[in-house]
Amino acid sequence: MNLSPLPAIMLEPLVRAALLEDLGRAGDLTTDAIVPKNHHATTVLVARQSGVVAGLDLAMLAFRLIDQNVEMTVHRPDGSEVAQGETIASVSGPAGAILTAERTALNFLCHLSGIATATASLVAAVRGHGAKIVCTRKTTPGLRAVEKYAVRAGGGANHRFGLDDAIMIKDNHIAIAGGIRTAIERARRSVGHLVKIEIEVDTLAQLEEVLGFAPDAILLDNMSADELRQAVRMVAGQAITEASGRVTPATAPAIAATGVDLISIGWLTHSAPILDIGLDHRAP
């Protein structure tokens, strides 16, 4: 998988803040007391369970921000599938720096690899159908860009990055505007020709009304497989169709089989379990 690296100028503030949170007011009391300043160590990042790797740039940055002399050799880059017990990367350099940065590096790596692994399981579940697996804005505050990167590492695609990407008209917008027509007409008057408009519908009756306004995309929220199939027939290629609600690896194949273009899943970024990765010391 050819993933574009995340720019260091974006990653460094995230990693630096995490390190400062861990170091607190007095630094790493344990390591500073026990590990000699000039001690060199070689360690390895090892997968404790099978999955997909994501977040190595953040892990490496955590080590290097503590000491520039730490070196990391990557054996299984982001986007790679790894088996339980497989070495992902080797980390060598001043032992104190490695131990001080260990938890921050693993927090990022395990979290993002967990997202990539969950995404990969859903991508595999819908293989053979045309639907793409996409994430949402349900992300950890401050980590949206890297969590969405992890979705891409797992073979998924990204929905909006923020409120400024596109217009997404949801049920509360419609309720406050006083109806679908008013909401769409106001939206269309307020943006330029390059801005896409998506609207959420809960029923086939709403969908029928919406189709008269030619939106770019339609979010079919919490519909059954039968309703989704009928909705796809009604849309007939006039707009991108997106299904959401109660999506798991078990339910995703039936949803994809309805012919929707996208399946959006919030839990990928807000609730995916971590991928267990450890840092093991290797004796010389």
Active site residues: 103, 138, 170, 200, 221
Which of 111, 117, 108 has the alpha carbon at shortest distance from 51?
117
Dump the DSSP string for 153-204: HTT-B---SSTTSSEEE-HHHHHHHTSHHHHHHHHHHHS-TT--EEEEESSH
Distance CA 187, CA 206 (A): 18
- Angstrom distance (rounded) from CA 220 to CA 227: 9
Q: How many CB atoms lie within 10 A of CB 221?
A: 17
Residue 35, H or E segment = none
State the maximum Cα–Cα separation within the chain, in Å, rounded to a whole number: 72
Closest CA to 151 of 105, 125, 113: 113
Closest CA to 238 of 218, 209, 266: 218
Q: Which of 198, 193, 243 is nearest to 218 (CA)?
A: 198
Residue in 256, 254, 264, 212 with CA at minimum distance from that of residue 234: 212
129 class by beta-carbon count within 10 Å (0-12 exposed, 13-18 middle, 19+ buried): middle
Count of H-run helices and E-run strands, the chain: 11, 12
